[in-house]
Amino acid sequence: MRYSYINNLECPKCSKQYSAEEIQQLCSCGSPLLARYDLQSLKNDIHKEDLQSRENSLWRYHEVLPVLNEKNVKTLGEGMTPLLALERAGEELQLYKLYLKDEGLVPTGSFKARGAAVGVSKAMELGVKELAMPTNGNAGAAWSLYSAKAGIRAHVVMPLDAPEITRKEVSISGGKLYLVDGVISDAGKITAQLIKENGYFDASTLKEPYRIEGKKTMGYEIAEQFGWELPDVILYPTGGGVGLIGIYKAFLEMQELGWINGPFPRLVAVQAEGCAPIVKAYVEGKKESDFWDNSETKAFGINVPKALGDFLVLEAIYETKGCAIAVSEEEITNAQQFIAKSEGQFICPEGAATVAAADKLRESGWIGTEERVVCLNTGVGIKYPDTVDYKARYMEKIHH
Amino acid sequence: MRYSYINNLECPKCSKQYSAEEIQQLCSCGSPLLARYDLQSLKNDIHKEDLQSRENSLWRYHEVLPVLNEKNVKTLGEGMTPLLALERAGEELQLYKLYLKDEGLVPTGSFKARGAAVGVSKAMELGVKELAMPTNGNAGAAWSLYSAKAGIRAHVVMPLDAPEITRKEVSISGGKLYLVDGVISDAGKITAQLIKENGYFDASTLKEPYRIEGKKTMGYEIAEQFGWELPDVILYPTGGGVGLIGIYKAFLEMQELGWINGPFPRLVAVQAEGCAPIVKAYVEGKKESDFWDNSETKAFGINVPKALGDFLVLEAIYETKGCAIAVSEEEITNAQQFIAKSEGQFICPEGAATVAAADKLRESGWIGTEERVVCLNTGVGIKYPDTVDYKARYMEKIHH
In a structure prediction context, what are the per-residue pLDDT tens digits for chain A, which is 400 residues long? 899 999 999 999 999 999 999 999 999 999 999 999 999 999 999 999 999 889 999 999 999 999 999 999 999 999 999 999 999 999 999 999 999 999 999 999 999 999 999 999 999 999 999 999 999 999 999 999 999 999 999 999 999 999 999 999 999 999 999 999 999 999 999 999 999 999 999 999 999 999 999 999 999 999 999 999 999 999 999 999 999 999 999 999 999 999 999 899 999 999 999 999 999 999 999 999 999 999 999 999 999 999 999 999 999 999 999 999 999 999 999 999 999 999 999 999 999 999 999 999 999 999 999 999 999 999 999 999 988 999 999 999 998 7
Domains of chain B: total: 1
Nearest CA in chain B to A52: B53
In a domain, B167, yes or no: no
Rounded mean pLDDT, B50-72 = 96
Distance CA B358, CA B335 (A): 10
Q: At B293, which CATH number?
A: 3.40.50.1100
Per residue in A173-227, pLDDT (tens digit) is: 999 999 999 999 999 999 999 999 999 999 999 999 999 999 999 999 999 999 9
Query: Do B174 and A340 count as a contact with CB atoms less than 8 A apart?
Result: yes
pLDDT at A53: 87
Distance CA A238, CA A250 (A): 17
Per residue in B340-397, pLDDT (tens digit) is: 999 999 999 999 999 999 999 999 999 999 999 999 999 999 999 988 999 999 999 9
pLDDT at A272: 98
pLDDT at B368: 98
Chain A residues inside the 8 Å CB shell of B395 = 157, 178-180, 190
Nearest CA in chain B to A174: B341
Chain B residues inside the 8 Å CB shell of A337 = 172
In a domain, B296, yes or no: yes
In a domain, B303, yes or no: yes
Q: Which residues contact B391 (CB under 8 A, 6 or more apart)?
A: A171, A177
Specify the long-range contacts of residues B278-283, CB closer than 8 Å, at least 24 apart. B278/B238, B278/B241, B278/B307, B278/B310, B278/B313, B278/B314, B278/B317, B278/B324, B279/B324, B279/B325, B279/B326, B281/B310, B281/B314, B281/B324, B282/B314, B282/B317, B282/B323, B282/B324, B283/B324
Report the complex ipTM: 0.96
What is the identity of the amino acid at A343? Answer: E
For residue B32, give how far its alpha carbon lies from the nearest alpha carbon of chain A (Å). Answer: 23
Query: Do A173 and B380 count as a contact with CB atoms less than 8 A apart?
Result: no
Q: Which residues pair with A373 in a beta bridge?
A: A98, A233
pLDDT at A146: 98
For residue B129, give how far its alpha carbon lies from the nearest alpha carbon of chain A (Å). Answer: 15
Residue B362 sits at the vertex; the CA angle it makes with B358 and B367, to the nearest 5 degrees, is 90
- Spatial contact of A379 and A166, defined as CB atoms under 8 Å apart: no
pLDDT at A120: 98
Nearest CA in chain B to A164: B385
| Kind plus residue range of the DSSP H or E element containing A115 | helix A112-125
How far, in Å, are A103, A235, B399 from residue A343 at the CA level?
15, 18, 46
A145 closest CB neighbour out of B157, B346, B385: B346
Mutation for A interface: B111, B332, B398, most A CBs within 10 A: B398
Query: Do B82 and A80 count as a contact with CB atoms less than 8 A apart?
Result: no
In a domain, B216, yes or no: yes
- Spatial contact of A314 and A335, defined as CB atoms under 8 Å apart: no
Mutation for A interface: B135, B149, B158, B348, most A CBs within 10 A: B149
B385 closest CB neighbour out of A82, A145, A164: A164
Chain B residues inside the 8 Å CB shell of A340 = 145, 148, 172-174
For residue A259, give how far its alpha carbon lies from the nearest alpha carbon of chain B (Å). Answer: 20
Query: Do A107 and B105 count as a contact with CB atoms less than 8 A apart?
Result: yes
A146 closest CB neighbour out of B164, B193, B344: B344
In a domain, B300, yes or no: yes
How far, in Å, are A81, A93, A115, A121, A256 from residue A3 at the CA level?
23, 44, 19, 14, 19
Query: Do A179 and B82 count as a contact with CB atoms less than 8 A apart?
Result: no
- The phi-psi region of residue A80 (left if phi > 0; otherwise alpha if psi is between -120 and 50; otherwise beta) is left
Range of the domain at A359: 83-110+212-386
Chain A residues inside the 8 Å CB shell of B341 = 148, 172-174
Query: Do A76 and B344 count as a contact with CB atoms less than 8 A apart?
Result: yes
- For residue A370, count other CB atoms closer than 10 A to its CB: 11
Rounded mean pLDDT, B194-213 = 97
State whether residue A372 is helix, strand or coil.
Answer: strand
Distance CA B27, CA B14 (A): 9
Query: Do A393 and B343 count as a contact with CB atoms less than 8 A apart?
Result: no
Rounded mean pLDDT, B141-161 = 97
In a domain, B18, yes or no: no
Q: Which residues contact A281 (CB under 8 A, 6 or more apart)?
A: A287, A288, A289, A290, A310, A314, A324
Strands B83-85, A176-180: pairing is: unpaired
